[in-house]
Structure 1
Amino acid sequence: MVGKTVDDAVNAALAELNAKKEDVDVEVLEEGSKGFLGMGSKDAKVRVSLKCTPQNKAVDFLSGLFDVWGLNVKISTELDGDVLKVELEGDDMGVVIGKRGETLDALQHLTSLNVNTGDGDFVKVSLDTEGYREKRVKTLESLAAKLASKVAKTRHNVTLEPMNSYERRIIHASLQDNEFVTTYSVGQSPNRKVVIAYNRK
């Protein structure tokens, strides 16, 4: 990046990267000079790169992906202990969420793979947009309660649609204290399903 002074060049690079000074490494290539009476002046040149942090790895990966998709997405990150929370904001988040959150889950998995390259400590990635994760948990808990009530009345097992491991855990956990039903999973991923069965004990 080029500027009249080193600070000008650095600030221009920060604006382009949408980053703070503490998030980047700066290498000064040329200090620049004012010259004599405005003659022979030289601009300063710097090389600015994002530091190799979990947050920057996540932003760098997702930004590149969304650019390819042609989506304008604001990416916010927060490192809370060993959990990296990534929040996405934009106009067309339905595309990012996908059917039953499948695209969001895939993005979370790919982001985790990118963040956890290298020798650093493992960081768990939690990717969300528009509060989808919380809404999905409530939907699944409500569904589990409704179907458990049905199973308790009819004494006939109910098999749910295929779900990923995270969603299956929500169903199992929400019904673990229900004395009338028990739950277990059947099938192979990605078609593994939860069965809500009548507890005959």
Structure 2
Amino acid sequence: MPTYEGSDIQAAVNEGLQAMHLTREEVSVDVLEAGKKGFLGFGRRLAVVRLTPNEQPSQVKQSAPAPVQQSAPAPVQELVEPTPTDNLTSTPQKRKSGVETEAELSAYLEAITAQIGIPVSIHVTHDHRSTTYHLKTDKEGLLIGKHGKTINALQYLAQTYFDHHMKGKQTIILEVGDYRQRRAAIVSHLADKAAREVVATGKPVFLEPMPAFERKIVHGHLATNHHVQTHSEGQGDRRSIVVELARTF
């Protein structure tokens, strides 16, 4: 029997029903491939089903009694979509090698930047707790974006991709030129300025919202300043650091 494909099982069944000019009640469905949505454009698979027309009910013999004694057609089995076993949290995804994940992530970043008109070349460096993807382009300003919004958004996607494919905890950093180094110096300067203001006025200072890795710089930079303490407030991309006087007991 022919097979039919679709983005999911139901779509594949609908494709088959249309081609065979039959209704759902007139066929039996065999799921050959459940399909997979994939992640960030990788690993997507179509669902595949086989449709078999149900046999026509046997004709009632002439000697049969009242129609109520006719053999009813076999009940049509309900289509239940199986739960995919290869989703984002499944073991096969988690067991990808670091080399394979690194290559796929580099290809993904190259594809995105090409689509927004900022083609890049990438080389990767490693240390104990982080992996840095160095993006080289002639349009560094556009790739970084206002206040780093573009490169930070790409870094969030890259970190999410890595976390879904690898078991080990590793920080993914996207670097354009020496932007991260320059930004770390700026953030440290803002932290020192806020600390001086807190000591002078006794009032807490709220810094501008920052991504997690920049907040980490502030917390670490002011950790040795015994006059102030820091904590984060807010949600998502509006989360920021509060610098206040250190509590004394």
Where on the TM-score scale, by shorter chain, does this alignment land: which range? 0.5 to 0.7
**Residue pair 1:55, 1:79 contacting (<8 A) in 2 also:** no
* Mapping of residues 69-80 of structure 1, within 5 Å: 69-80=116-127
Q: CA 1:172–1:58 in 2, change beyond 3 Å: closer, same or farther?
A: same
2:237 equivalent in structure 1: 190
Name the CA distance, whole Å, in 2 between partners of 1:137 and 1:163: 12
Give the secondary structure class of the aligned counterpart of 2:173: strand
Letter in structure 2 aligned against 1:101: G
What is the letter of the counterpart of residue 156 of structure 1? K
Identity of aligned residues (%): 31
Supply the distance in 1 between the matched residues of 2:203 and 2:170 (Cα, whole angstroms).
42
**CA deviation string 1:118-159 (max 9, x = no partner):** 466565422111111111111111111122112111212211
**Counterpart residue type for residue 100 of structure 1:** H
Q: Which amino acid aligns with 1:94?
A: G
Task: Tell me how far apart the structure 1 counterparts of residues 224 and 129 of structure 2 sit (CA, whole Å).
Answer: 30
In 2, are the aligned partners of 1:55 and 1:84 still within 8 Å (CA)?
no
1:162 positional shift: 1.3
One of 152, 158, 162 as aligned partner of 2:199? 152
1:179 aligns with 2:231: no
1:137-193: CA deviations, max 9, x gaps? 111111111221121112122111111222112111111121221112222222122
Q: CA deviation at 1:83?
A: 3.6
Going from structure 1 to structure 2, the CA distance change for 1:73 and 1:149 (only over 3 Å counts) comes to same
Larger radius of gyration: 2
Q: Secondary structure at the match of 1:162?
A: coil
Check 1:142–1:79 CA distance in 2 against 1; reply closer, same or farther (3 A cut): closer
Is the 8 Å Cα contact of residues 55 and 78 (structure 1) preserved in structure 2? Answer: no
Q: CA deviation at 1:100?
A: 2.2
Aligned residue type for 2:202: R
Cα distance in 2 for partners of 1:186, 1:53 equals: 37
| CA distance in structure 2 between the aligned counterparts of 1:194 and 1:116, rounded to whole angstroms | 25
The TM-score, its normalising length taken from structure 1, stands at 0.65
Verify the 8 A CA contact 2:118 2:143 in the aligned structure 1.
no
Deviation at 1:117, TM superposition (A): 4.9
Q: Which amino acid aligns with 1:151?
A: V
Match of 1:46 in 2: none
Q: 2:169, 2:127 → 1: CA distance? A: 13
Aligned twin of 2:62: none
Q: CA deviation digits over 1:13-61, x for unaligned, max 9?
A: xxxxxxxxxxxxxxxxxxxxxxxxxxxxxxxxxxxxxxx6233112211
Trace 1:1-201 onto structure 2 (pairs within 5 A): 53-80=100-127, 83-115=130-162, 117-118=164-165, 121=168, 123-199=170-246, 201=248
Alignment gaps of 5+ in structure 2: 1-98
Deviation at 1:88, TM superposition (A): 0.8
Contact 1:160-1:195 at 8 Å conserved across structures: yes
Q: How many residues align?
A: 151
What is the TM-score normalised by the length of structure 2? Answer: 0.54
The answer to which of 158-167 and 77-86 deviates more is: 77-86
Which consecutive aligned stretches of 4+ in structure 1 deviate over 6 angstroms post-superposition? none
State the SS of the aligned residue for 1:196.
strand
CA RMSD of aligned residues (A): 2.4
SS in 2 for 1:71: coil
Q: Distance in 2 between matches of 1:187 and 1:129?
A: 28
8 A Cα contact 2:155 2:173, kept in partner: yes
SS of structure 2 residue aligned to 1:182: strand
- Are the counterparts in 2 of residues 57 and 115 from structure 1 also a CA contact under 8 Å? no
* Equivalent residues of 2:136, 2:176 under 8 A apart: yes
Q: Match of 2:234, as an amino acid?
A: G
